[in-house]
Every structure is written in C-alpha cells, then in structure tokens.
Chain A
Amino acid sequence: MLTPGTLRFLAGFVFSLVIGWFVFPYVLYERIEQPLQFSHKVHTGEAGGMSCTDCHEVKPDGRFTGIPALEKCATCHSSQVGTSPHEKRLVDEYVAKNREIPWLVYAQQPENVYFSHASHIGSVECANCHGDHGSTDSLRVYERNRISGYSRDIWGSSISRLARKATWDGKKMDDCIGCHESRNVTNTCLKCHK
C-alpha cells in the first residue's frame, strides 16, 4: 500500500525519467536542413548510372576527396539538365555564382581523428559505416549536438547507445575499436588520432 510520501517520491521519479529519456534528447540536438537536396538514387540508378567512386575518389597518395567539390557537379550541371527545382537551385545559386555548397557531413569525424578511407576500402563495405546513404533519394535532416557540435551520427540514434540498430548506427571511438577488434586489427592511438 503506497503512502502519499511514496507516491510523491514516485511522481518525481517518473517525471525526471521522462525528462531524461525523451525531452533531453530532443533539446540536445539541433535539426538543420541541408543547403540543397540531393538524390544518390537518381545519380547511381539507371538515370545517372554513376558509381560511388565517380564522385568520391581516393587520390594516389591515399587521401580521400570526401564530398566532391562544386566543379565535379558542374561537369554535368553547368546548365539545367533535369526538371528538379533543387537542380535549378544548384545551377543558379552555386554553379552560376561558383559558390561551394556548404554540405553538412553526417559522418564527419572530429578534428582530432585521422581516418583513412584508403586503408578501409576493400576490407570494409561503404554501407558498413554509411548505411544505405548511397541509395537514398533525399538527404535527411542533419542533427547537430548543441554541446559538442558533433553530428548525431557519431553518437548514434539510440540516446542510451544500448539499442544500436546496425554497424553504421553510431561512429564513436568504441564503435571503431569494436570493429577493429572483431577483425583483429590493432587499436593503437596513433592509428586514428592526429
């Protein structure tokens, strides 16, 4: 039988649980739209027929170009080829004005982290870390941690990190270490910190 005291206690208990588990995550992350919409599907599908490496290439010195520069887009989109309004914006606002597109990188690793695509490509699938990003039709909202400034993809979708959906859900150091261990690759600091 619950005394009023116990009830008040429980009330407080439940109240802060709700705050901690549901309100806090919502407040912590700031949702930002990408400057421009982009469909990997269209580019890689029959229409585009391009492969990942057409835009995201590894230089001979082993450096990864990451998101391609505007000139890459301009090679095809110097003028509008399709009907999409987003493409129109691409041409008018960026290609025409020769302004780089300020993409928000979902998988952006922190400044102190060194990640070499060259040494992962081949042994690890792109999807392993980037999920189905390569086949999406639109760019999802970018979530920025208001305290640390990191992309939410680093922490992962589960606020407790207990329910990790897949290998690509979360790219914290522990995740890298876990993957390395599972493939018995060494985890020395200098491998990944600059």
Chain B
Amino acid sequence: MNSKITRREVLQFVGGSALGVLLSPLPWKVLDDTAIWTQNWPWTPKPKRGDIAYRTTTCTLCQSSCGMRARTIGAQPVSLAGTQHHPFNQGALCTSGLLAHHLRYHPSRVKQALKFSVQAKSHSTLSADDAFRELSAVLKNSSSVVIVDERAGRTVSALYAELAASARTVSYAPVSARGISSLNRLAGNASLQAGYDVDNAKCILSFGAPLFDGWGTPSLAARFFDKRGTQKLIQIEPVRSRTAEMASKWIVSRPGTDLAAALSFAHVLLEERLVSASALKSITDIDELALFLGAFTPEVVSKQTGIPPATLRETARAIASQTPSVCVTSHAAGDDVQDAVMLLNILTGAVGTQGGITLRAEIPGMRSAAASAKQSVQIDDLPDHSVNVFILDESLSGSSIPDTLLQDKLVSGGQGVIISLSPFVTPRPFALQYIIPSTVMFETLGDTTGPFDAARSGLALSSALLPAPDGTLDALQFVQKCAETLSVSLSSTGSSEEILKKRIGALHASKRGQVFMTSTGETTDVKQLATADDLWNALVEGGCWIDEAVGVNARALSFRVMPSIKHTRQTQTTDSNTLLVYPIVESSAYSGKTVSPLMSKVSQESGLRLSAQDAYLNPVTAAAHQIEHGSTVALRTKNGTMNVRAKLDARTMPDVIFVSCTAQSCGNQSAIASSAQDVRLLCEVSSGGSYTPTPVTIQKVYL
C-alpha cells in the first residue's frame, strides 16, 4: 500500500462515500429486495398453476366405494370432496379418503419389484420380469397356494376364483365384509351375499363397532342423527368411544367379554321364548344349542362382563321387541364373536328382513359366485403350517389380516412365501416376500362393490385421472400375469378396460337395477339406458349402479350353528384389579392402511387420534402409577415390551390400558426407514383371530 496515503485520508474518503451511498438508491433497494427474497425463498414450494377442472370418480380405499369429486390442476387432483347426493355416501368422505390424492406420492411407495429375505434383514429390487420369472418357479414348486382377496365381488375376484379353479394347487380365499362371513359359515353356504340395512333398523346393538367412526360409510353418523329419536343404538364397550358417546345407550363391559355377552343375550332370547317359530325352525341343531347356551345365564355372564344381569336381560328383550333390529361387531372382533353375534341376528329373525341383514342377489355379469365359492376356502379353516404361498391383493387398501394369522398358516421355518401386490412397502419379517408394485387410486380403471352397510348391493368404477407409473400393475393385469406363470388361460383377458367393459355390458344386458349419474345428479333405471356405453360412461364419470331390492328368500336358509359356536373358548374371568392392555378400534377408516403424511394433523399434531405410539389411561390408573399425561411408559406383557406415550382419558375404563388397533404408517419418511411399532402385538390373539385383553405391567420411563 502506498505509504503516502495516511489513515486519516482514507477516513475522509470513506466518510464521503458513506454519505454518498446513503443518498443513493443502493441501500434502500437492497433492503427492499432482501425482504422480498424472504417472501419467495426458493425452498418454499410454489403451487403449480394451470387449468382448473372438476372430475368425479369413486374412492377405492375401502368397500364403502364413496363417490368423490376431485378438483384438478391439469390432470392432477389437488383436493377431494364427496359427490353430492351420491347413493353410497351422500356426499361424505372419511379422513383418509380426503387425502387419497397424496398416496400416489407417498414416501413408502414401491416403484420397483422388491424381494424381502426372511426377517426382512435385507431387501433387493428387481425388474417385474425377473420377479415373475422367480415367481413362476416358486408357484410351480409349491403344493398349496392361497390367493387372498379382501375385496371380493370385484371383476378381478371372479378371475382369481377362476384361476384357483383351473390350477390344482391354488385355492381362493375371499374375505367378505366382517360379520357377513359368519353368515356364510353358519349357513354353510359360501356364496351368500348380504348387507346390513342399518338405515331401516329400529334398534341397533353394537358390540364395540365404531359405527360413527369408519365402520360403514362416512355418512352413517349423519344418517343416524337425521333419524334422531326414531332409531335406537345400544353400544356395548369398555370405553365411552365417539360412537358410545353419541349412542342412545352405552353399556359398560369389561374388555374382551363381547362373546360372553352375546351368548347370554342368546340365552335370554331362548329362555324367555323371544324367538320366532320360523327362526327356531331355521336352526337345525336348535336343541343342542339350547343345551349349550344353558350355561350362559345373565347371572354368570354378569360376573365376566361387569354388566348387571338386569341390563343383559333388558338388552336381549330390546333386540327381540324393537324389530327390525340388527346386531353388529367391530372389524377387529374375532370369528367366535362374529359368529355369536350373527346367531343373535338369526334368533331375532333379522336375517333376510328389511332393517336387518338383507340378502343380496348376485351382481350380474360375474362368473357365478356359487361357482367361485366351490374353490373358495376360509383362511381360518386352513390347517396351520399348510400353506406354501400366500398371494395377497393389497392393491386397493392394504391388508387387514393379522400377520400372526398368516404366520400360523404358512409352512414353518420361514419357508413360506408371500407374494403381495401392493403400492407400498409392507414388510412381513416371517416369510420370504415379493412385493409387486401396484397402481394406487387415480392411476387405474377398476371396479368396486357397494358398501356393506346398505340394503342393496352396488357397483362403481374408479377412473384413471393420472398415468400409472412404469412397472406398476393393477389387479386385473396382475391376475393375468399370475395365470401366465401358472400357464392357465382365463375366460376374459386383455386390457383392464376391455375386461371391465365386458362386465358392464352384461350388467346392462340384465336390465336390472338403477344407475346414479353425476352429470345430472339423478338416478334412473338401467332399462332407460339405450346402450351399454351409456351405462359405462355414467359409471366412469363417477356414478354408481344399485341393485333392485330383490334378495334371496331367507326362508330357504337353514343354519347349523353348533359346529362354529361350540368350540368357542370360554372367556376367562380376569379379576378386575389386574392391569390389562387391550386394543381398541380408534377409527377403522384407515385401519392398517398406509395414509397420507398429512394425517399427522389428527394424530401427531393435535392428539385427536390415538397414534401407534400412544396409549389411553384412565387418570385414576395413571395416578396410581405416578404417570402424568404425555409421559413415556413401558408396557411389558409376555409378548414383549414397548414404549408408548400415556394419554390420560377419563372415558376409558380404569385398570385397562387401551392401545390403537389401527396403527397406520403416516409420516414423512419411508416405511423401510421407520418400521413403526405395532402396539397390538403386545396382546395375545384368540383362536378366533381377535386380540384379547392381556395382563400387563406399566412403568414410567425417564428419558
């Protein structure tokens, strides 16, 4: 630096320029622009602009098949709402339905076929072709393959059944709506199709069924409220749930005693001669049953359930006198409970009557359900460790079958294989698992049957608003692939559209039922439609088909109940002061499903819903164990130990810790990264496939 320049000289220059800068736009413009920069940070996403349109379609996340209206930018749905006046859901959607358009981009979406080794220690990606090459080897070498179809009644269901029919080693296990399957069992007729006509029931007896919380269609609560007074709902539950709170009557019962309660009701019905002659006649082994039920006097059962004998009797009388009445159970209830409750429906004469359980005629255009039924098996009936391969169709709504059940049926020693058609990663550590990436909602054309809480059967189509990602299959393509690998030829092949059009064509030809059109918002007879394409278009545009009120004549039915009832386990009396852990159905709307990350609003961000890491405690119980709201506690049962967050809730029964039965994986990171704990596993599973209250020790964890 030039020595001539002194510090003072520099200062003078700087002083001058400082003043000059202040008199120039520079500092002020920079001030403004930096502020504007903070308003447009590059890492804050900018919503895409584009042409806005509305498209109506059908939600396929559960059997309710709600009509939904999507607001789209270009082709991309940006928000969803129920289709007004839709016969299935009357314009209502559930929480997960409202977020269905996020599933396409869910972090745990499978983009390529995956292969999980046993214990899921490692997983590898492979191309679809390689996957099926390996699978054909697997399928050819296995003596017992079971296709599980949790959404029976779809077109693909018929093809699954057909595949099973033509391949010696393959059998088809349809899982019809919970409860209804009991009807099939007791009637010894797998082809029976039925629905709960709750709208016309005068009295509904619910064994912990979350009626207003996702049990049926989202509009069920509204339908009940609008009929306030005229309809009676009796809720039996150990917690004053959302449904219990709104019910006409709430009966407190100890957890896991639904079976006993149901049987005592049956006992009272017989004892007090409240059963119609025709109902008695329909039960072939009635004497045997009467003998068996003799043990379940209200006095005895009262000790287990904690329900006063008088209340038990009153309730039994209520369902007998206030007809039509219908008895329902939760999705999580085991088969034993389901069967016992179905028995009540038989005794009250609800089966086959309006306002009870209506029997549905087959939907035309399908391979006869009777034929399908021949090959069909019930998973529970399969002998343990007899299945080599399970093929799970999880493409629509994941699987609600307990892993423990699959594990029991699969050949032991980790030799079992699970082939799962799924859009999401659903690891099952106990078997070698292939995940074939499937499409999600809005990516595929598919059909779905109507809700089970409606008198009449229905049918709807979901349309593909967005292109399916490469390498993903929908169920119809998948079943054809499977047929190929097993070198079986199916009756109808080709693109999904071709196959579905065939069915809709047949439906139109049958001239049966009515169709709801979103274009007009009105319902017209199928007869009125000139061509099959009219029907097709009406359905593709998010309409729906509803059957006529024709049903199978209930008189024709006869039931043999003892085989399923008699080996029901005696519910063990747990003395009331042992601490129990028991899963409750918080909302079956997203039971066991992968849901949008935005679901954090109702769980993580607000505590409105029980998340998989939470447990409800009664404040009294908490105080007894020095546990505050929100503190972390360790639950230890003989099945293991898990840390959960205690939530004090005076609606729950003391000395019982309630965990969520609907653990769902939402959240921003992929399911592989975060294997969300399933608190249900703390509980033992009954022979009937339901979780039973299990003794537990609780201890506060200091972090």
Contacts and interface: CB of A to CB of B under 8 A. Distances in A.
A103 interface: no
Contacts of B33: 28, 145, 147-148
Contact of B16 (A13, A25, A145): A13
12 contacts: A8-B13, A8-B16, A12-B14, A12-B15, A13-B19, A14-B20, A21-B25, A24-B26, A110-B40, A148-B33, A148-B37, A149-B37
User: Ordered nearest first, which 3 A-B pairs have the shortest CB separation?
Assistant: A20-B24, A12-B16, A16-B20
Nearest to B23: A17
A55 interface: no
A112 B39 contact: yes
Interface residues of A, number: 29
A28 B25 CA distance: 12
Given A28-B29, A63-B52, A110-B40, A19 B16 contact: no
B17 A24 contact: no
A159 interface: yes
B24 A17 contact: yes
Contacts of B141: none
Contacts of B39: 110, 112
A15 B17 contact: yes
Given A110-B40, A145-B33, A24 B24 contact: yes
Contacts of B34: 147
A12 B36 contact: no
Nearest to A63: B52
B20 A160 contact: no
Nearest to A149: B40
A21 B25 CA distance: 6
Interface of B: 9, 12-21, 23-26, 29-30, 32-34, 36-37, 39-40, 46, 52
A127 interface: no
Given A20-B26, A25-B25, 9 more contacts: A10-B16, A11-B13, A13-B19, A15-B16, A15-B20, A28-B29, A110-B36, A112-B39, A147-B33
B36 A19 contact: no
A9 B14 CA distance: 7
A179 to B, nearest CB: 20
Contact of B13 (A12, A110, A111): A12
B87 to A, nearest CB: 28
A149 B46 CA distance: 14
A61 B19 CA distance: 54
Contacts of B37: 147-149
B13 A17 contact: no
B284 to A, nearest CB: 65
Nearest to B50: A69
A38 B319 CA distance: 79
A24 B12 CA distance: 23
Contacts of A149: 37, 40
B36 A11 contact: no
Contacts of A11: 13, 16
Nearest to A28: B29
Contacts of B40: 110-111, 148-149
A91 to B, nearest CB: 24
A19 B26 contact: yes
Contacts of A110: 36, 39-40
A149 B26 CA distance: 17
Residue from the set B14, B16, B33, B37 with the largest chain A CB neighbour count within 10 Å: B16
Contact of A20 (B9, B25, B46): B25
